[in-house]
Amino acid sequence: MRTAAALGLFMTLTAYGAGSIYDYQLKTIDGAALPLAEYKGKVVLLVNVASQCGYTPQYAGLERIWEKYKQRNFILLGIPANNFGHQEPGTEAEIKAFCQRKYSVTFPMASKISVTGPDAAPLYQYLTAGAGPPRWNFTKYLIDAHGRIIRRFDSKVEPESTELTQAIETALGN
């Protein structure tokens, strides 16, 4: 118990003490290490995704903005999470197959993590501390080219909305 509490405190302190998303590492949906430092110099959109959510059709819009901006120092990272309504119950292989089959997703995907609550991944502890917690699936965090949080967009903000695309354009310097 004492070790678990100490680990939780360390993870929390690490999240609050971090200077950018570059201080964190995830795994790809295929299980490979994914240090977010690989994204230095790029504008990043982090999205907690789920396959069985009312917002799941946003995968199509996410893919379109990925196609539109990927050649312009932009990364879109889908991060599966089962925190809200247990709407992402599948394995990584099932999630990947669903995304490719139903929405032809080609943007990078991370392995499933927790994005809220006491077991939230350190990255999401950092995002929550800086811009507020995700309130549901398909919450979007826009990150500048220095790895700092620009803004959180709630689930209802469609990927191709003027609100989000203008923020991306501004972050890209256009």
User: What pLDDT was estimated at residue 18?
Assistant: 64
pLDDT band per the 50, 70, 90 thresholds, residue 114: very high
**pLDDT value at 121 more than 60:** yes
Q: How wide is the angle at C-alpha 161 spanned by C-alphas 157 and 164, nearest 5°?
A: 75
Question: What confidence score (pLDDT) does residue 44 get?
Answer: 98
53 is a catalytic site residue: yes
pLDDT tens-digit map of 46-96: 999 999 999 999 999 999 999 999 999 999 999 999 999 999 999 999 999
Which pLDDT score, from 0 to 100, does residue 85 have? Answer: 95
Mean pLDDT rounded to a whole number for the chain = 91
Which helix (DSSP H) or strand (DSSP E) does residue 25 occupy? Answer: strand 25-27
Does pLDDT of 8 surpass 80? no
Give the whole-angstrom CA distance, residue 37 versus residue 59.
25
In total, the chain counts a number of residues equal to 174
Res. 13: pLDDT tops 50: no
Per-residue pLDDT at 162 exceeds 90: yes
| Number of independent structural domains in the chain | 1
41: left (phi over 0), alpha (psi -120 to 50) or beta: left
- Please tell me the pTM assigned to this model: 0.89
Residue 7 phi/psi, 5-degree rounding, is: -65, -45
Percent of the chain with pLDDT over 90: 89
Cα–Cα distance, 153 to 142 (Å, whole number): 8
The domain that contains 55 carries what CATH number? 3.40.30.10
- Single out the catalytic residue among 25, 28, 53, 92: 53
Please tell me the distance from the alpha carbon of residue 88 to that of residue 145, in angstroms, as a whole number: 30
Read off the pLDDT of each residue in 134-141 and give the average, rounded to a whole number: 98
Residue 68 carries which side chain, given as an amino acid letter? K
Run of H or E residues at 54: none
- Which structural domain, as residue segments, surrounds residue 126? 2-172
Q: How far is CA 156 from CA 17, 78, 159, 161, in A?
A: 30, 16, 9, 10
> What does the pLDDT read at residue 6?
35
**The pLDDT of residue 7 is above 60:** no
Q: Mind giving me the DSSP string for 106-163? A: -S-BBPP---SSTT--HHHHHHHHHH----STT-EEEE-TTS-EEEEE-TTS-TTSHH
